[in-house]
Chains A and B, each alone.
Chain A
Amino acid sequence: SAVISQKPSRDICQRGTSLTIQCQVDSQVTMMFWYRQQPGQSLTLIATANQGSEATYESGFVIDKFPISRPNLTFSTLTVSNMSPEDSSIYLCSVEIQGADGYTFGSGTRLTVV
């Protein structure tokens, strides 16, 4: 299965600022996703990161707030823009490799906005 390196692992940010989270995979993958896990909640899909084109966002998530880049098949970034305390969550990157064990998740980025 793929190995995902997600950075940073945690951060404390001031409201109104932005944070960019990086996701690096050790092999080329077609499907890459970003999730949010709010405190005490389940994982909610933010968007599918598409290589070379705009990400596909789920209902309730918009590009202005969560811009995503995916320049190649092994790397993606998620930016949390103009942060507020409500953005305090764990953000996770995930990849799917067909024919493998399904979905692999990064260890997550624990974001606290103060």
Chain B
Amino acid sequence: AQSVTQPDIHITVSEGASLELRCNYSYGATPYLFWYVQSPGQGLQLLLKYFSGDTLVQGIKGFEAEFKRSQSSFNLRKPSVHWSDAAEYFCAVAGMDSSYKLIFGSGTRLLVRP
């Protein structure tokens, strides 16, 4: 069964600073990996996904993530954070075996200092 670890519960960065949110997964085969964002009181929005191919994937809102198989990681990055990026970020992994279940990490809350 797959699992996801997001080791940082909260992260605070200053506006304009760079950001990296960590995600480690556990899955026996090549996983499908996702990052979602959830603003307060809002639904889930897909930022980016990795299925195969280029291990550096670009997403919306200037986010990118890099799949590193050797480290079982899929960290999310952004070179310059905007105040509107303050939200909860979820990493998720799907095992594309017969179950197709999408399992979420515990989330990282991003706070942005003015």
Could you list which residues of chain A lie within 8 angstroms of chain B, going by C-beta atoms? 31, 33, 41-45, 48, 56, 92, 94, 96, 101-103, 105-108
**Total residue contacts A-B, CB cutoff 8 A:** 44
- Judge whether A102 and B46 touch: CB under 8 Å: yes
- Judge whether A94 and B107 touch: CB under 8 Å: no
- Judge whether A102 and B101 touch: CB under 8 Å: no
**Complex-state Cα separation, A101 to B44, whole angstroms:** 14
- Judge whether A42 and B43 touch: CB under 8 Å: no
Q: How far is the CB of B7 from chain A (nearest CB, A)?
A: 14
Query: Which residues of the partner chain B approach A48 to less than 8 Å between Cβ atoms?
Result: 99-101
Interface size on B, residues (CB 8 A): 17
Residues in B43-100 with C-beta less than 8 Å from chain A: 43-44, 46, 49, 90, 94, 99-100
Tell me if B34 is interfacial: C-beta within 8 Å of chain A: yes
- Judge whether B46 and A101 touch: CB under 8 Å: yes
Could you list which residues of chain B lie within 8 angstroms of chain A, going by C-beta atoms? 32, 34, 43-44, 46, 49, 90, 94, 99-107
The main secondary structure of chain A at its interface with chain B is strand
Pick from B44, B49, B90, B104 the residue with the most CB of A within 10 Å: B44
Given contacts A103-B94, A105-B44, contact A43 B101 (CB under 8 A): no
- Judge whether B90 and A42 touch: CB under 8 Å: yes
**Complex-state Cα separation, A48 to B101, whole angstroms:** 8
